[in-house]
Chains A and B, each alone.
Chain A
């Protein structure tokens, strides 16, 4: 017998058609009908979530709302009510926290739970998952799908297998088989670009991937090679983390109408930067890199960034820097659809203990109250 680490028990909970389900719960007239939560069909918005009824017409998340309308003109388009979704999400997280401290929310409607150490339900992860699903239904009136397995990757695969209101267990014996049958595009961490590259190399499924020796994978995919090598064998040692350190803080807006006027664009960026800084301050962190993101009307997207030796603490003085970053773009010549600001190169709070005091700071409004 090999005495490896004890087998973990991971549950992946995924709310079914979350935003759409909340809207159908709160408005009986929407029930049983194709609905889309997202942008209006006559706008430039996209589908955030759609009901299962809408999915029958081929409507999918991230599709342009205008295309969703063409697929099914009867579709009801609803403006998202994020405050409501956030409340529901908080309620779900409270349920999780009754079972384990070790849960990792991925978004408002999705989370991993590590229940290895939970003794309730005789320690059966499947029974626990069922109980959590029942609690969610009782408290929110919504259904969730659960995947149970021995790592994050397989738990996520499992939650997708019996949707909606599903529950699926992938046992350690079944794990490698699931990984082998899976198309590589379905693997977590393999995006469109990597999928294409793998297809070019003749890798279409987990089994194809498994045939590649580790050095060759590392040669082609760099440090991700090890991860791909492992997941092809159903191995995923990523822990469930209840705290994820932020790498950047960003704010972006898609405008209802394209922006053309450079001064207006600059003003918008200053506003966005103020919002990003407020979020950063809430995390008690400081940033050194400022990135401007611009999506033009033709969806071409660019970013421009500047890294400063000192921490970015306020928008004061940044008008010139933003204007400078804009110089190297097609702003003014090309219509702009979306603007974003990201702050990165974040410094964690403990580094703030080294506070160099500043001679002029009294006359400088600081973002961080001392």
Chain B
């Protein structure tokens, strides 16, 4: 195997691939990157067996061959070489030589035959979506996914396709984000799949805001998305997403509109003196006033007042300040609308008159 490539061409795909590879590996070869040269194309593959990214690049002076290289070292070398350097790469026995006009590196490689195959099932369904649209939907929801919850189906994101309607849902049980959009073309599909947490994060990193149309295909256990010269694949979470419809079937108080920047700033300040672990803050609603306060075990206290046009009975409800801030900050407009269940058991947050993007934040009992 032999080829040469410009450092600046190699670096972006290499970074994407290395980000998938787990630092702590039980199988040594999984910390390597699979390199295949066929004709004048280099194919690089990285996987943690749950997700995989494959990237293709044109190279110069190619001689076919396959090998695997220690991914992080390979990345670090390329990253730290000066911009625009042409790198010559050549396999010699069980070593791979990297050379530039002024630097030489020799990396130990492992045979490509031992690289595990990412066994994808036959893709049954397929739709197209623009890169920017998918990225926005992911970024608006992914931070609500659970992390290492025993309810493993929450450690992922629900992707719901209903003909040309797209709906993404993420929740850690304490809060939930729903984002809806329309696809450019009807799909004729009705499907709900759960993409695992790490896959969602890597995919978001892979996408850009452009209008380029992506091909998304999936089966009952895998999803595959073709992006530029890369292919992203992930195993799906093998479960049904839990039913959250009950939360909508309640009676609600009148929506309360609050200027978003004021709410965000007040929350940020009050949260400084909230219990560090639980981050609880209390909202007191009165006729024309919202008072937000917090206190901590050191008996420190914070209070902020916002003038409101509410005009209904007084009540109090407590939340994790961070969940509220995440929700409010992600709204695009200047007003946040809070709709609280009559029994104070949940709070919906969205922009007034807009239903495609909404949050549910569950209260705390302080």
Contact = CB atoms under 8 A, between A and B. Distances in A.
Interface of A: 308-310, 312, 316-318, 320-321, 353-364
Contact of B362 (A308, A318, A356): A356
A25 B149 CA distance: 53
Interface stretch (B57-65, B181-189, B240-248, B264-272): B240-248
Contacts of A356: 174, 278, 320, 362, 364
Contacts of A354: 275, 277-278, 280, 364-366
Contacts of A318: 150
Given A309-B147, A356-B362, 14 more contacts: A310-B149, A353-B365, A354-B275, A354-B277, A354-B278, A355-B364, A356-B278, A357-B365, A359-B174, A359-B176, A359-B360, A360-B151, A360-B154, A364-B151
Contacts of B31: none
A178 B278 CA distance: 51
Given A353-B366, A355-B364, A360 B152 contact: no
B345 A357 contact: yes
B365 A316 contact: no
Nearest to B151: A317
Contact of B242 (A309, A355, A360): A360
22 contacts: A308-B148, A308-B149, A309-B147, A317-B151, A320-B152, A321-B150, A353-B365, A354-B280, A354-B366, A355-B364, A355-B365, A357-B174, A358-B362, A359-B174, A359-B176, A359-B244, A359-B247, A359-B346, A360-B173, A360-B244, A362-B246, A363-B243
Contacts of B32: none
Interface string B254-284: 0000000000000000000001011010000
A354 B319 CA distance: 10
A357 B366 CA distance: 11
Main secondary structure of the interface of B (DSSP, over half): loop
Nearest to A318: B150
Interface string B289-332: 00000000000000000000000000000001000000000000
Given A355-B364, A356-B364, A317 B150 contact: yes
B150 A316 contact: yes
A359 B171 contact: yes
B148 A309 contact: yes
Contacts of B242: 360, 363
A314 to B, nearest CB: 8
B120 to A, nearest CB: 23
B163 to A, nearest CB: 27
Contacts of A320: 152
A357 B152 contact: no
Nearest to B361: A359
A318 B275 CA distance: 30
In the complex, the 8 A-B pairs of residues with the closest C-beta atoms, listed nearest first? A317-B150, A354-B278, A358-B173, A355-B365, A357-B362, A360-B242, A356-B364, A356-B174
A357 B364 contact: yes
Interface in B229-248: 242-244, 246-247
A285 to B, nearest CB: 16
Contacts of A321: 150
Which of A354, A355, A359 is packed against the most chain B CB atoms within 10 Å? A359
Which of A312, A321, A356, A363 is packed against the most chain B CB atoms within 10 Å? A356
Contacts of B174: 356-359
Which of B147, B151, B154, B277 is packed against the most chain A CB atoms within 10 Å? B151
Interface in B93-152: 147-152
A312 B360 CA distance: 24
B363 interface: yes
Nearest to B345: A357
Contacts of B345: 357
A37 B254 CA distance: 71
Contacts of B277: 354
A361 B345 CA distance: 12
